[in-house]
């Protein structure tokens, strides 16, 4: 789940966070769940939602309200539509593709820790002003009141074993801790 960056949007009366919890706690399949969410997407501020069941991965952009199943491949999702070529998205997606042959959690987390901002000429114009566009242009965002609070890597091997590693961060990107789960 990501929010859509649009400072002019009205706040939705419902929390986007419930979208993830409802799928995980519910019994609907990917397509049925996304169809249900699409029918009420106007109740939330703008969002992108990915849901999967291990076999299929579905995507919904709240403003398009037309869910779709994604084919196998590498995608990038930030705070616009799927694969919108914002500099940080292109950089992270390209980095991910280069690491797929030997996916090591800590190398992937290093990719997500890239705090280099994009050049001013490469910044999108989303209505938040140049200074904020610059702050938001790095893969890892660190400031006092806004920024990356968690970076998560999930690797599923050929035998279906899962390894999840998550790093947590506070203000200014301060490292708060790391967890690892093997299933």
Exposed/middle/buried for residue 58 (C-beta within 10 Å: 0-12, 13-18, 19+): buried
Report the domain count for the chain. Answer: 2
Looking at the structure, tell me whether residues 93 and 172 fall in a common domain: yes
Looking at the structure, tell me whether residues 36 and 71 fall in a common domain: yes
Please state, in angstroms and rounded to a whole number, the distance separating the CA atoms of residues 59 and 82. Answer: 8
Q: Convert the pLDDT of each residue in 109-146 to its tens digit.
A: 999 999 999 999 999 999 999 999 999 999 999 999 99
Looking at the structure, tell me whether residues 73 and 95 fall in a common domain: no
Q: What's the chain's average pLDDT?
A: 95
Looking at the structure, tell me whether residues 146 and 130 fall in a common domain: yes
On the question of pLDDT at 182 being above 90, the answer is: yes
State which of 45, 78, 111 marks the end of a domain.
78
Q: Convert the pLDDT of each residue in 79-90 to its tens digit.
A: 999 999 999 999
The Cα diameter of the chain in Å comes to 47
State which of 59, 78, 97 marks the end of a domain.
78
Q: What is the mean pLDDT of residues 150-167?
A: 94
The boundaries of the domain holding residue 143 are: 85-183
Q: What are phi and psi of 50, to 5 degrees?
A: -110, 130
State the pLDDT confidence band at 65, using cuts at 50, 70 and 90.
confident
Please state, in angstroms and rounded to a whole number, the distance separating the CA atoms of residues 121 and 123. Answer: 6
State which of 33, 58, 78 marks the end of a domain.
78
Looking at the structure, tell me whether residues 74 and 161 fall in a common domain: no
Please state, in angstroms and rounded to a whole number, the distance separating the CA atoms of residues 121 and 151. Answer: 27
- Number of other CB atoms surrounding residue 128 within 10 Å: 15
Please state, in angstroms and rounded to a whole number, the distance separating the CA atoms of residues 59 and 107. Answer: 27
Looking at the structure, tell me whether residues 121 and 172 fall in a common domain: yes
State the pLDDT confidence band at 54, using cuts at 50, 70 and 90.
confident
């Amino acid at each position: 789940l990501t929010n859509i960056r649009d400072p002019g949007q009205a706040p939705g009366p419902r929390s986007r966070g419930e979208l993830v919890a409802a799928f995980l706690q519910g019994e609907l399949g990917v397509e049925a769940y996304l169809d249900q969410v699409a029918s009420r997407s106007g109740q939330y501020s703008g969002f992108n939602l990915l849901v999967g069941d291990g076999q299929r991965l579905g995507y919904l952009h709240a403003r398009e309200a037309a869910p779709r199943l994604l084919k196998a491949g590498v995608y990038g999702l930030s705070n616009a539509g799927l694969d919108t070529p914002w500099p940080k998205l292109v950089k992270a997606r390209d980095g991910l593709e280069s690491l797929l042959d030997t996916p090591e959690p800590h190398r992937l987390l290093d990719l997500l820790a890239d705090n280099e901002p994009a050049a001013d000429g490469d910044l999108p114009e989303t209505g938040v002003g140049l200074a904020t566009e610059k702050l938001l242009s790095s893969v890892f965002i660190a400031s006092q009141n806004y920024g990356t609070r968690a970076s998560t890597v999930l690797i599923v091997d050929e035998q279906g074993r899962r390894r999840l590693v998550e790093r947590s961060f506070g203000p200014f990107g301060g490292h708060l801790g790391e967890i690892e789960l093997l299933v």
